[in-house]
Amino acid sequence: MQRVSMWLRTSVVGVLLLALLAGVAPLFAQAPSGYKAPRSKNADGSPDINGIWQVLNTANWDLVSRPQQPGPLYQLGAMFFVPPARGVVEGDMIPYRPEAAAKRKQRFENRLKAEAFDSDNGDPEMKCYMPGVPRATYLPYPFQILQGQREILFAYQFAKASRVVHMNKKAEATVDSWMGTSNGRWEGDTLVVDVTGLNGDAWLDRAGNFASATAHIVERYTPLSPYHLDYEATIEDPAVFTRPWKIRMPLYRVIDPGAELLEVNCVELSEEVLYGKIRTQTITGK
């Protein structure tokens, strides 16, 4: 009887928390920011957004809302399960074209297949490929912004990924790449980053959501306080989606005085998964 009573209390608290979160999220989306960020030491007097930042959400699992889901192996029980979450997509729906929606479903079903050089089979995160934009922002690892006047460097902990945002002179993509080519400008206190030249091999999350090599992404980083940035990314890709769509989330400054980006050499973690069978075939001759 005591266990039943405890379960009821826990359930009620859970429902109240969900209701509270449902009410708080719209407040974040509508909150006017009167905050004026401190100025950087650059001659242009731009806002200072230097620092180490990180998300506090689970968008890397799936950009849209979802219930909890079991992990890849039932033997692990509650370890590595997919947590429930509210989505970060405006309208909570990604406007896929029908053929692209079928492809996303296929990718989800094949997300645990470790096929090298095959973007349709196996999440690139599992293979230690660079995460692409915008996924690099909401991976569950910190990233650092190093702000200059001509260029702004984004350094990501996962897979040693990085990219340079060109602020003065527009850079053209000479070749498609995982992180694309980024050109930036200031609109008031908002850093606007225009991203093209992506190779289309990155996934947007572990659920198989994706964009193609023709994607055009516009990011917006707006200081909300000394410890928060409002992050938006608008994805436009007529080859995959019927219209542009947007994600939005807060980024949190890591205030630990000893914070730094530690080395994540995930290549050595994925080599056996990707190439172990090749090594075995070479040794056995089969």
**Helix or strand holding residue 80 (H, E):** none
SS3 98: helix
Q: Is residue 169 part of a domain?
A: yes
Residue 66 and residue 82 in contact, taking contact as beta carbons nearer than 8 Å: yes
Residue 52: partners with Cβ closer than 8 Å, 6 or more residues away = 142, 143, 144, 253, 254, 259, 260, 261
Q: Which domain holds residue 263?
A: 32-284
Domain count, the chain: 1
Residue 216 carries which side chain, given as an amino acid letter?
A: H
Which residue, 147, 131, 228, 222, is CA-closest to 180? Answer: 131
Phi, psi of 145 (to 5 degrees): -105, 125
Q: What's the pLDDT score for residue 19?
A: 41
Please list the pLDDT of the chain residue by residue as tens digits (286 residues): 444 344 444 444 443 444 444 444 443 444 445 899 999 998 889 999 999 999 999 999 999 999 999 988 889 899 989 999 999 999 999 999 999 999 999 999 999 888 778 888 899 999 999 999 999 999 999 999 999 989 999 999 999 999 999 999 999 999 999 999 999 999 999 999 999 999 999 999 999 999 999 999 999 999 999 999 999 999 999 999 999 999 999 999 999 999 999 988 898 999 888 887 776 666 556 5
Print burial letters for 1-15: b (CB count within 10 Å at least 16), e (below 16): eeeeeeeeeeeeeee
C-alpha pair distances (Å), 257 with each of 49, 51, 70, 83, 262: 17, 11, 37, 30, 14
Question: Distance (Å, rounded) from C-alpha 237 to C-alpha 215?
Answer: 4
**Helix or strand holding residue 236 (H, E):** strand 228-236
Q: What's the pLDDT score for residue 281?
A: 60
Q: Is residue 129 part of a domain?
A: yes
Which residue, 190, 256, 255, is CA-closest to 229? Answer: 190
Question: Distance (Å, rounded) from C-alpha 44 to C-alpha 148?
Answer: 10
Q: Is residue 120 part of a domain?
A: yes
Q: Is residue 186 part of a domain?
A: yes
Kindly state the tokens that stand for 39.
């100025």
Q: Is residue 181 part of a domain?
A: yes
Q: What's the pLDDT score for residue 196?
A: 98
Q: How far apart are the first and last CA of the chain?
A: 62
SS3 118: coil
Q: What's the pLDDT score for residue 125?
A: 95
Residue 197 and residue 175 in contact, taking contact as beta carbons nearer than 8 Å: yes
Q: What's the pLDDT score for residue 146?
A: 97
Beta-carbon count within 10 A of 270 CB: 19
Q: What's the pLDDT score for residue 282?
A: 60
Beta-carbon count within 10 A of 179 CB: 21
Q: Is residue 123 part of a domain?
A: yes
Residue 77 and residue 160 in contact, taking contact as beta carbons nearer than 8 Å: no
Which residue, 168, 64, 61, 155, is CA-closest to 111? Answer: 61
Q: What's the pLDDT score for residue 277?
A: 73
Compute the C-alpha angle 249/235/198, nearest 5°.
110
Q: Among all chains, which residue has been given the structure tokens 């920011």?
A: 33
Q: What is the C-alpha R_g of the chain?
A: 21
* pTM for this predicted structure: 0.85
Q: What's the pLDDT score for residue 204?
A: 98
Q: Is residue 2 part of a domain?
A: no
Q: What's the pLDDT score for residue 64?
A: 98
Q: Is residue 159 part of a domain?
A: yes
